Amino acid sequence: MTNKNKKHIVIATTIIILVVALLIYRYYIPDMKPKKQLTPASVEYTYDDSVTSSQLAEYNARQDWQLTLVNNDTPICENCSVILTALDNGQAVDCRIYPQLQKMFDDARSQGIYPTITSSFRTAEDQQDILESKYEHYQKIGYSDKKAKAYAEEWVAMPGTSEHELGLCVDIASGDSRVTNQEVWDWLAKNSYKYGFIERYTAEKQDITGIIPEEWHYRYVGEKAAKEMYENDLCLEEYLQNMS
């Protein structure tokens, strides 16, 4: 066999191997992209300026709404609905937490701390978009599909398991160059419980919540519960377990 023939055989073999590899990848390796996992029935939402006073009164009278648990093991229930208050910066929160949220921000500003809300209520579709965006980010910086998926799901909750879909939590950062994010978060860590909010995901409770630390994520649970959680170093899961 001549060297020329050997070269042709090597090239042909290489092409066949590449084609087979592509076919295996295309048809047999599962897509690692985060799967869409919406709630059985997506959260229905409306705004407080589009409901009647009786509807609003009925909504406000619901019991223990502020202690609703949503996490990887406890997805949002079917037929969940929320009435939102629209904020000036385009964000929105459950109308029942707005008064205390505004009071907390007003008091912070009076003390030289200037917080702003960077994320609040999200639809399940919003949550899915954020998850896929995070996945694509990790892909672009060189992670394999498997690792990109794992890291994305470590940072972003699957649709149907995020508190943002309830409108009961907010992500907070500095809204003024005079203060840093860390200064805002330090103030919130010491004072938010006075207004019914808790730092939801801390490093100390990661094994329980299943979520990496998020100094910016604050959840409304009511003043009584927030005070007890703060004083006894409890996360929401522990607090509810103690109640049962």
| Catalytic sites, residue numbers | 214
Alpha carbon distance 11, 130 (integer Å): 44
Give the number of other Cβ atoms within 10 Å of residue 164's Cβ.
23
- Find the radius of gyration of the CA atoms of the chain: 24
| CA end-to-end distance (rounded Å), the chain | 82
What residues does 48 pair with on adjacent strands? none
Alpha carbon distance 215, 185 (integer Å): 6
β-bridge pairing 197-201 and 214-220: antiparallel
Spacing of C-alpha 78 from chain mean position: 19
Q: Are the beta carbons of 184 and 113 closer than 8 angstroms?
A: yes
Helix (H) or strand (E) holding 173: strand 169-174
Q: Are the beta carbons of 166 and 70 closer than 8 angstroms?
A: yes
